[in-house]
């Protein structure tokens, strides 16, 4: 019985890691696309997860809500913070400083 619990916990941990990697790739693509559309420079070519919590999606299912941060520049010599919010595997919004891009 103990082995089964350990295997289930290990499986859940592996699923969480792969789900987090997929969410990071989704946030990266959304941030890059938002920077291209706003004609600003996507800095460091990366996003980092800043928060994780459980939330409900539009169907009422419990999913992870993840917030990712990234940096961009409007002139090439400044650094500004951007944010991507994912609900489950879907991008909810992208924030570039004061410019909101909603999908």
- Give the pLDDT confidence of 28-57 residue by residue, as tens digits: 999 999 999 998 999 998 999 999 999 998
CA-to-CA dists, residue 90 to 25, 44, 52, 70, 74, angstroms: 12, 23, 14, 18, 27
pTM: 0.86
pLDDT at 77: 80
Q: How far is CA 24 from CA 2, 6, 52, 66, 77, in A?
A: 33, 27, 12, 9, 26
Phi-psi region of 60 (alpha: psi -120 to 50; beta: other; left: phi over 0): left
């Amino acid at each position: 019985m103990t082995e089964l619990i350990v295997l289930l916990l290990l499986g859940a941990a592996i699923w969480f890691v792969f789900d987090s990697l997929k969410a990071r790739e989704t946030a990266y693509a959304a941030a890059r696309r938002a920077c291209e559309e706003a004609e600003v420079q996507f800095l460091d070519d990366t996003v980092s997860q800043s928060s994780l919590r459980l939330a409900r999606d539009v169907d009422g299912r419990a999913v992870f809500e993840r917030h990712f941060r990234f940096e961009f520049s409007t002139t090439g010599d400044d650094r500004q913070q951007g944010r991507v919010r994912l609900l489950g595997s879907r991008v909810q919004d992208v924030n570039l400083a004061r410019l909101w891009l909603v999908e």
